[in-house]
Amino acid sequence: MQVQEIMSRDPACCGRTDTIRDAAKIMAEKSVGSLPVLNESGEPVGIVTDRDICCGAVAEGKGSDTPVSEVMSTDVLTTTPEEDVSACCDKMEERQVRRAVVTDENGKCCGMVAQADVARGASGQETADLVQEISKPERKSGCC
């Protein structure tokens, strides 16, 4: 099975200079917990999550006009539509992340694959392995 079979296509995105208020509004409207952050060419330069906004901005006393670039993660895991889901899962497990940005042949964002997509589309064993490895308490993430 390939990533393109389970990924979410054309995800909602934001830019580095968008505010966390803008990002939170998009997340609420689209009912998502993360947004790829794209440069002017449509290439991923980061990812911002609801947790980043809560723990990286609100808990730190930053205002809603704070640029996304101040709270986003810049170590973005990317994959391609043609990559095998199992290889993508291996990378997610290794990095202990719950989502990857899917990029096309030009490096532009064309989708997202999240732990939930794997749960809906992959085998039970792949899902179990992914959840188990991502959930290992090896490192502290975010503010908690």
**CB of 11 closer than 8 Å to CB of 112:** yes
- The set of residues, in sequence order, having a beta carbon less than 8 Å from that of 7 and lying 6+ positions away, is 81, 102, 111, 112, 113, 117
CA end-to-end span of the chain, whole Å?
A: 35
Instruction: Give this prediction's pTM.
Output: 0.82
What is the C-alpha to C-alpha distance for residues 119 and 101, in angstroms, rounded to an integer?
Answer: 17
pLDDT of residue 144: 39
Q: What is the pLDDT of residues 13-53, one digit of tens each?
A: 999 999 999 999 999 999 999 999 999 999 999 999 999 99
Q: Which of the four pLDDT bands, split at 50, 70 and 90, describes residue 136?
A: low
What would the pLDDT profile of 46-103 be if each residue is shown by its tens digit?
999 999 999 989 889 999 999 999 999 999 999 999 999 999 999 998 998 999 999 9
102 contacts 42 by C-beta, under 8 angstroms: no
138 pLDDT higher than 90: no
Strands ordered across the beta sheet of 8-9: 8-9, 109-114, 99-103, 78-79
Distance CA 144, CA 140 (A): 7
What was the pLDDT predicted at 112? 96
Buried b (16+ CB within 10 A) or exposed e, 97-119: bbbbbbbeeeeebbbbbbbebbe
Diameter over CA atoms, the chain: 44
Burial class (CB in 10 A: 0-12, 13-18, 19+), 90: middle
